[in-house]
A and B are shown apart, each in its own frame.
Chain A
Amino acid sequence: MNISRWANSVALAAVLALSSPVWAATPANTLVVADAIDDVITLDPGEVSEVGGVLASNQMYQPLVSFDVSDPTKIVGVLAESWTVSPDGKIYTFKMNPKATFASGNPVTARDAEYSLRRVVLMKSRSAFIITQFGFTPENVNDHIKATDDQTLVVEIGDTYSPSFLFYCLSSYVGGIVDSKLVKEHETNGDFGNAWLKTANSAGSGPFVLAKWEPKQSILLKRNDNYWGEKPGVERVFIQHSAESAAQRLLLEKGDIDIANKLGPDDFDAIAGNSDIAVMNGRSGTIYYMGLNVRNENLAKPKVVEALKYLVDYDGIAGTISKGTMEVHQTLVPNGFLGALDYKPYKLDIEKAKSLLAEAGVKGEISLDTVVWNTPPYTDFAQAIQATMAQAGIKLNLQVVDGQQWLDRYRNHNLDIWLGLWGPDYPDPHSNAKAFAVNKQDAPDGSESLADRFGWDAGDLSKQAMAAVREQDTQKRKAMYEAIQKTHTDTSPFLYMFQQTRKVAINSKVKGLVLGLTFSDDRYWTITKE
């Protein structure tokens, strides 16, 4: 009797404790975003690179120029008000926007732009490659990037390029301008303020400032009260680490987060009928492809490479595995970019593949070591492709490895096939053309491209791609990329499969979210919550 009464009261107390009010909605002044951010190692705009880091940094720092999200071919000024390009295409003169100020209250001047861009090169930042391809080195950058007065920045590049190419590169994460006055105060041992900016402080002119970053847990941004543009609709942005898709879905459905950035295809299915949730479709330049290492004697035969291109069930995979989060795409320039082309010559055709293999003189089974990242969608893709390839006697020897090993294997050419992705760093077709079509000897910075990684001599295409990025006339440039792509798709050892369609699930109370063009370019300052 006594015991049961005791047990009852304990049970009651437990129920009361557990059902204490649970806040079923996020605070109205705070935007809560769930994303996988445990890989972020820095928030310094000069060296950010991880998706979550770029996402946060884009809310805090602004570039000189950017592009119109609804029409990416249109370049718009952000911190620069206007610009001119010299007739030979080598000297760019930017006039700064006199209204722009940093969060500290300091005006944004050409000196800040000079400092910020030089800084990336001088620090030898890991993201420097985006701008060093214009010929800047630590030795020459002080001569080539110069503020002639507070309002004028002169940038002299080593070679003639299509102006939009430079603008796109400057619009990317590495082009974020920092408050030079503030950062210089915090320089230690010639680190350009890197230690200060890396984890705990921000010095930008953007709509938000850094409040607190808890590595691997959360990033909290506060509204910049000195923001020179239109005041953001929310006071705080809280990016919370949540790696698991199903858990994110529950949080979103429950109203505990406003934006879920990492939902998988199945979870999009599950929320389809929920009227409290809206799904936004954005663009993503990410392309899924297989790289075939032509150092392999079989893959060195063009007919074998072509045969493999007929051994992927493109439509089947896009329909069943990716469920609308990807679409079939078979060229190197993603949809939405200048020169994008609707060219899909390949579909699953086992007979055709068999005859191509016979023409190539292949007898019996070919076994190919295929390196796959141990995470969806790669593992699912790999199994589906393995099954269709087997029907023509191609045995894919799947080696499922973790992400770092996956990178290592292809950098060291230690594989026959690599199943992977490519995400452009800036929304210019050259980001992809350089990767897939330009060989080392043609690249101005001499860097190894994907073509080199897979042992492929792109021949004429390599020179054509470099000519395209130097073309001043946009229409001509577009036509050049179209030509390059067709030949590239037909002859290269790259087996393009899909382009990602970005999907972001949001609470329907969230209004005004603008999705960016490349990964992690979403704009949170236009958001209001009802």
Chain B
Amino acid sequence: MILRLLTYSRHAGAWAATVAITLFGLAVLTFVIGRVVPIDPVLAIVGDKASPDVYQRVFIELGRDKPLYVQFATYVSGLLHGDFGQSFVTSRPVLSDLLDFFPATLELSTIGLLIGMVLGIPAGVAAAYWHEKWPDHLVRLIALVGYSVPVFWLGLVGLFFLYFKLDWVSGPGQLDVFYQGIVENRTGSILIDSALAGEWEVFWNAMSHIILPALLLGYYSLAYIGRMTRSMMLDQLNREYVLTARLKGASEFEVVVGHALRNAAIPLVTIVALSYGSLLEGSVLVETIFSWPGIGNYLASSLFRADMNAVLGGTLVVGAVFVFLNMLSDALYGVLDPRAREHLS
């Protein structure tokens, strides 16, 4: 028992070290890239027409007069105290910006991923089961379109039909103007906030706004998850244990879902985690078209304004998300794969 606890804590220690090193490396890299790009953040603030006096004032305010390593040390020591610095665009601490913008991406991506999983995995299974038959062709076609059609185009077409023509969903933005400011911002997610407050009208309005961009993101993760499920299932269905199961008289459902899918599920976890990660980075294009105040938009607009604290903070959050998802999928491995369980203990 004690031995097991020790092993666990050693694992946890190793994990913590890996996470720390990863995030530190990310911070260094982003910091250096942020300093070598040919963009002058002072100019981004004061504009082209300001006098040299003004330029100098802001130059010093930003700490650009200090050597690079001092700037970095200041930044890192801030980080260690949970201080991501201040964004000059929003004049707020980057941390509170992130707490504001990230939940918008989180709710969008989570719904998107759920759509992708719920539709993508069965589609992939069906495609593999009916290999080279029409379901397979259909799924491959859908996946191909999802892969190759630019997302902004699909977004606009979606808006045109579902919002403009059919009136099924609401347009860009998180809420209608009518519902702005009714629900107090508690978690940053309008869906959760409105549900907590019992403002169901606001909730449904938010839902009608989120559904289209979420479907869009869902479609893209469906394309990926579906294709990967298909190829993994194909691999599994050709194994001998499947033949054995069939010979032993197991039902087709049992064979496909109970045996093959269970084995395919292990690598699928990684696939799903990866696509969740890439959704959580925030899709800049989707967020732009749908005026969605998410992390992708935040990062992109900060980048164009050379708001380096915001870019660094956002990048670290995205990095942390990936690390966390990696950890999560490793943990799930343990649950799904007996060998990994054994290895752990």
Q: Cβ of B304 and Cβ of A126 under 8 Å apart? A: no
For B45, the chain A residues whose CB sits under 8 A away are 41, 126
Residue of A nearest to B162 (CB): A18
Q: Cβ of A215 and Cβ of B89 under 8 Å apart? A: yes
Number of chain A interface residues as a range = 35 or more
Mask, B147-162, CB within 8 Å of A = 1, is 0000000001001100
Q: Cβ of B207 and Cβ of A27 under 8 Å apart? A: no
For A15, the chain B residues whose CB sits under 8 A away are 168
Assembled-state Cα–Cα distance A254/B161 (Å): 12
Q: Cβ of A41 and Cβ of B204 under 8 Å apart? A: no
Assembled-state Cα–Cα distance A238/B46 (Å): 27
Assembled-state Cα–Cα distance A411/B172 (Å): 37
Q: Give chain B interface residues in 171-203, CB to chain A under 8 Å.
A: 171-173, 176-178, 180-181
Please tell me if B328 contacts chain A, counting CB pairs below 8 Å. Answer: no
Q: Cβ of B177 and Cβ of A238 under 8 Å apart? A: yes
Number of chain B interface residues as a range = 35 or more
**CB contact between A247 and one of B172, B298, B301, B305 (< 8 Å): that residue:** B172
**CB contact between A217 and one of B47, B57, B211, B293 (< 8 Å): that residue:** B293
Assembled-state Cα–Cα distance A276/B46 (Å): 41
Mask, A434-478, CB within 8 Å of B = 1, is 000000000001010000000000000000000000000000000
For B53, the chain A residues whose CB sits under 8 A away are 124
Q: Cβ of A256 and Cβ of B176 under 8 Å apart? A: yes
Q: Cβ of B306 and Cβ of A129 under 8 Å apart? A: no
Please tell me if A404 contacts chain B, counting CB pairs below 8 Å. Answer: yes
Q: What are 13 A-B interface contacts by the 8 Å CB criterion?
A: A22-B170, A32-B177, A128-B50, A198-B91, A215-B89, A215-B97, A244-B288, A247-B159, A247-B290, A250-B160, A254-B171, A404-B304, A407-B40
Please tell me if A295 contacts chain B, counting CB pairs below 8 Å. Answer: no
Binding site for A on B (CB under 8 A): 38-40, 43-54, 57-58, 88-92, 97, 101, 156, 159-160, 163-164, 167-173, 176-178, 180-181, 204-205, 207-208, 211, 288-291, 293, 297-298, 301, 304-306
Q: Cβ of A404 and Cβ of B180 under 8 Å apart? A: no
When A20-B208, A27-B178, A247-B156 are in contact, do A411 and B297 touch as well, CB less than 8 Å? no
Q: Cβ of A199 and Cβ of B159 under 8 Å apart? A: no
- With contacts defined as CB atoms under 8 Å apart, how many contacts are there between chain A and chain B in the complex? 152
Assembled-state Cα–Cα distance A132/B49 (Å): 12
**CB contact between B171 and one of A17, A126, A256, A402 (< 8 Å): that residue:** A256
For A238, the chain B residues whose CB sits under 8 A away are 177, 180
For A404, the chain B residues whose CB sits under 8 A away are 39-40, 43-44, 304-306
Q: Cβ of A240 and Cβ of B90 under 8 Å apart? A: no
Please tell me if A425 contacts chain B, counting CB pairs below 8 Å. Answer: yes
Q: Cβ of B177 and Cβ of A30 under 8 Å apart? A: yes
Q: Cβ of A41 and Cβ of B91 under 8 Å apart? A: yes
Q: Cβ of A23 and Cβ of B178 under 8 Å apart? A: yes
Q: Cβ of B43 and Cβ of A247 under 8 Å apart? A: no
For A127, the chain B residues whose CB sits under 8 A away are 50
**CB contact between B54 and one of A125, A242, A403 (< 8 Å): that residue:** A125
For B88, the chain A residues whose CB sits under 8 A away are 41
For A26, the chain B residues whose CB sits under 8 A away are 177-178
When A246-B156, A411-B48 are in contact, do A19 and B304 touch as well, CB less than 8 Å? no
Q: Give chain A interface residues in 268-298, CB to chain B under 8 Å.
A: none
Closest approach, in angstroms, between the C-beta of A188 and any C-beta of chain B?
A: 13
Q: Give chain A interface residues in 408-443, CB to chain B under 8 Å.
A: 408-409, 411, 425
Q: Cβ of A38 and Cβ of B301 under 8 Å apart? A: yes
**CB contact between A128 and one of B40, B51, B156, B298 (< 8 Å): that residue:** B51
Q: Cβ of B177 and Cβ of A126 under 8 Å apart? A: no
Please tell me if A184 contacts chain B, counting CB pairs below 8 Å. Answer: no
Residue of B nearest to A403 (CB): B304
**CB contact between B301 and one of A126, A214, A216, A251 (< 8 Å): that residue:** A216
For B57, the chain A residues whose CB sits under 8 A away are 124
Please tell me if A520 contacts chain B, counting CB pairs below 8 Å. Answer: no
Please tell me if A523 contacts chain B, counting CB pairs below 8 Å. Answer: no
When A246-B156, A403-B304, A404-B43 are in contact, do A216 and B90 touch as well, CB less than 8 Å? yes
Q: Cβ of A247 and Cβ of B48 under 8 Å apart? A: no
Closest approach, in angstroms, between the C-beta of A51 and any C-beta of chain B?
A: 12
Q: Cβ of B168 and Cβ of A124 under 8 Å apart? A: no
Q: Cβ of B291 and Cβ of A243 under 8 Å apart? A: yes
Q: Cβ of B168 and Cβ of A251 under 8 Å apart? A: no
Residue of B nearest to A217 (CB): B293
Closest approach, in angstroms, between the C-beta of A201 and any C-beta of chain B?
A: 12
Residue of B nearest to A27 (CB): B178
For B163, the chain A residues whose CB sits under 8 A away are 250, 254
11 A-B pairs besides A125-B54, A256-B171 with CB distance below 8 A are A22-B208, A41-B88, A215-B90, A242-B172, A244-B172, A244-B288, A246-B289, A251-B172, A254-B171, A404-B40, A407-B40
Q: Cβ of A251 and Cβ of B171 under 8 Å apart? A: yes
Residue of B nearest to A199 (CB): B91
**CB contact between B38 and one of A218, A244, A403, A405 (< 8 Å): that residue:** A405
Residue of A nearest to B209 (CB): A22
For B306, the chain A residues whose CB sits under 8 A away are 404
For A18, the chain B residues whose CB sits under 8 A away are 168-169, 208, 211
Q: Cβ of B89 and Cβ of A41 under 8 Å apart? A: yes
Mask, A174-197, CB within 8 Å of B = 1, is 000000000000000000000100
Please tell me if A253 contacts chain B, counting CB pairs below 8 Å. Answer: yes
Q: Cβ of A126 and Cβ of B46 under 8 Å apart? A: yes
Assembled-state Cα–Cα distance A294/B164 (Å): 52
Q: Give chain A interface residues in 129-151, CB to chain B under 8 Å.
A: 129, 132
For B101, the chain A residues whose CB sits under 8 A away are 216
Q: Cβ of B39 and Cβ of A128 under 8 Å apart? A: no
When A18-B211, A256-B171 are in contact, do A407 and B48 touch as well, CB less than 8 Å? yes
Please tell me if A351 contacts chain B, counting CB pairs below 8 Å. Answer: no
Q: Cβ of B43 and Cβ of A215 under 8 Å apart? A: no
Please tell me if A223 contacts chain B, counting CB pairs below 8 Å. Answer: no
5 nearest A-B residue pairs (beta carbon): A215-B90, A126-B46, A404-B39, A126-B50, A38-B301
